[in-house]
Amino acid sequence: MAEPYLVIDNIKKEFPRRTEAPLRVIDGLDVGVEKGALLSILGPSGCGKSTLLNIINGLDDVTSGRIVINGHEVSVKSRSKLKIGVVFQDSRLLPWRTVKDNVRLPLDELGIDRAEADRRVTYYLNLVGLGDFGDYFPLRLSGGMQQRVSLARGLAIEPDLLLADEPFSALDEITARKLRQEFISIWRATGRTVIFVTHNIREAVFLSTRMLVITPRPARTHLDLDIDVPYPRTPEDDRLFEIEKRVTRDFIAMEEASV
C-alpha cells in the first residue's frame, strides 16, 4: 500500500511549566491521510486542535513522534520546504490592499514572478467566484465574500496542504451553508488535500471524506470515521443526517465521560 500523503505518527506535545509537571496537550495521535482527502477534525474546546494545526503548519515542534507531508518531515526548521495554505476563522485581509493585492501577497513573499502571480490571482479569484471584484477593497465586501478571498489567497500558493481553521464559524448559517457547497466544489476542482477544523458536527459530516474526533486534553483519537456518502451532497440527505446523529450521540457521551 502506498504511503499516505499526510502522516501524523504517534505525536505527543507537552508544554513546560515552572512549578508543575509539563502540560501534555497531545498524547499519541496517529493518522494517515490519503492525497486529495478532506479530513475534518472535531474536539471539545481546549482539546489541542489549535496546537495540532500549529505543528502541522511548522509553527511549533512535536515533543515526540513526527508529521510527514508528501515525504517531507515537518518541523520549524524544515517549514520553508513546504507550502501550507491557511484559511482562518476571520479572513485576515489587509483593508488597505485591494482584493487582487491581498491574494498576491503570499506569492510576492514566495518570489513568484509577476506574470505567474497575475495568472494565479486571476485564476483563483475566478474559481471562488470573485473575478469581477479584484479591484475592490475588502471592507466593500460581505463577510462571506471576504472568506472567499481568504480561500483564494490560501489556494494561490498551490499548497502541499490546505488548513481550514473554522473558516465559516463567524458567518450566519445561510451564508455558511452556501459557502460549504462552494468549498466542496473548489476542493474537488483543485484536488488539494485539506485539513478542516470545526466545532460543527453537521458541517464536518457534510464536507468531509473522513472525520477525526479527538478527546478532551490530552488529545487522543476517539473516533476515526470515513464518510462514504458520494458527492455531490445535499444537506437534506438522510444518510448524512444518520451519521450526524450517531456522531453527536458519541461526542456527547465522550464529553460526559470526561467530566
- CATH code for the domain of 144: 3.40.50.300
Mean pLDDT of 8-35: 94
What range does the domain containing 218 cover? 37-47+83-258
pLDDT of 231: 96
Report pLDDT digits (tens) over 121-155: 999 999 999 999 999 999 999 999 999 999 999 99
pLDDT of 2: 61
Q: How confident is the model at residue 8 (pLDDT cuts 50, 70, 90)?
A: very high
Give domain status of residue 245, yes or no.
Answer: yes
Mean pLDDT of 12-24: 93
Dist. CA 189–CA 36, nearest whole Å: 11
pLDDT of 79: 83
Dist. CA 256–CA 13, nearest whole Å: 25
Give domain status of residue 31, yes or no.
Answer: no
pLDDT of 249: 95
Give domain status of residue 152, yes or no.
Answer: yes
Task: Check residues 228 and 2 and name the one with the higher pLDDT.
Answer: 228
Angle at 111 between CA 108 and CA 113, to 5 degrees: 85
pLDDT of 48: 87
Report pLDDT digits (tens) over 26-77: 999 999 999 999 999 999 888 888 899 999 999 999 999 999 999 999 999 9
Give the chain's domain count: 1
Give domain status of residue 3, yes or no.
Answer: no
Mean pLDDT of 183-198: 96
Dist. CA 11–CA 66, nearest whole Å: 6
Report pLDDT digits (tens) over 87-129: 999 999 999 999 999 999 999 999 999 999 999 999 999 999 9
pLDDT of 108: 95
Give me the percent of the chain exceeding a pLDDT of 70.
99
pLDDT of 59: 94
Give domain status of residue 77, yes or no.
Answer: no
DSSP SS3 for 200: coil
- pTM as predicted: 0.94
Dist. CA 224–CA 213, nearest whole Å: 6
Burial of 3 (0-12, 13-18, 19+ CB in 10 A): exposed
Give domain status of residue 68, yes or no.
Answer: no
Give domain status of residue 235, yes or no.
Answer: yes
pLDDT score of 207 more than 90: yes
CA distances to 38, 128, 234 from 125, in Å = 21, 5, 25
Q: How confident is the model at residue 80 (pLDDT cuts 50, 70, 90)?
A: confident
pLDDT of 105: 97
Give domain status of residue 59, yes or no.
Answer: no
pLDDT score of 1 more than 80: no
